[in-house]
Structure 1
């Protein structure tokens, strides 16, 4: 259980890698993760420590959010993207993800970004509700973008990919 008053949010460090891998593996659900089965790899294989904010309760990381520049194009330099969010199962629905989102917004504004985007699958109802509560709005829908095992009896179904965004200041 997360104690939000004891919760601290900081940038990640290389020493967090194994715990972040654990958190990522625990939040990897085939029906809401289009990449397929979880493939173990170093958490920092695709992320730099300065792109990852970690929610820590005591000394234990219980959640993370990946926020990075959306692309390297100069005309796109004002846009940051959330490329991952995970919270330990025992700490979910206790405000940890919201605290991470608020921290991500603060960091993106401090770094000079004015826009924050993310993509989420239409079947990830809990995530859609979380992002809506934090002011993200739907700006685009890629209909049938993924084929995932979310149909009746585990059958394959078409799932939309939804682009959400908000202005940060």
Structure 2
């Protein structure tokens, strides 16, 4: 498996991966319906995506962005999306993407990384905690998903290791 920056030619494969992995376990947007929106947009830019590739095919991606345009916040990078094909879950794809994200964030001059994860997404929360992320805040009942109120959990970690 390799992790690399996304290229425009990844559009179709990443869009399909995004649709296949959609779940209320991690998504607050409604399930995608045809006609599908493009994967790469002005908000979801190709240069913000890292792709995990196995045997020449994308099996996961991570979106890494500055959390705001403010200069006083320029030392932070935020994960705003991580997806792994269920056929390869548990095989280190997410950890490889996180490792590449730490390297890329440091290369960009970041000293801190943050993310938001839904409170009921126990597998993701365990993964992030094992990677050194700590819960830094909780917005109780922030989202109503399938009739249930779900917390929005804010997590962060330093990039000094």
- TM normalised by structure 1 equals 0.89
Structure 2's unaligned 5+ residue stretches are none
State how far apart, in whole Å, the 2-side matches of 1:37 and 1:60 are.
Answer: 24
Residue 42, structure 1, aligned to residue 38, structure 2: yes
Listed as ranges, the matches of 1:19-168 within 5 Å are 19-39=13-33, 40-45=36-41, 46-149=43-146, 156-168=147-159
Residues 63, 81 of structure 2: 8 Å contact kept: yes
State how far apart, in whole Å, the 1-side matches of 2:148 and 2:119 are.
Answer: 12
State how far apart, in whole Å, the 2-side matches of 1:115 and 1:38 are.
Answer: 32
- Cα deviation code 1:70-124 (max 9, x no counterpart): 1101111111110111111111111100110011011101110111110000011
CA RMSD in angstroms, aligned pairs only: 1.1
Structure 1's unaligned 5+ residue stretches are 1-6, 150-155
- Which 4+ residue blocks in structure 1 deviate beyond 6 angstroms? none
3-state secondary structure, aligned to 1:38 = coil
Give the paired residue count: 157
1:31 Cα shift? 4.0
State how far apart, in whole Å, the 1-side matches of 2:31 and 2:53 are.
Answer: 27
Residues 76, 112 of structure 2: 8 Å contact kept: yes
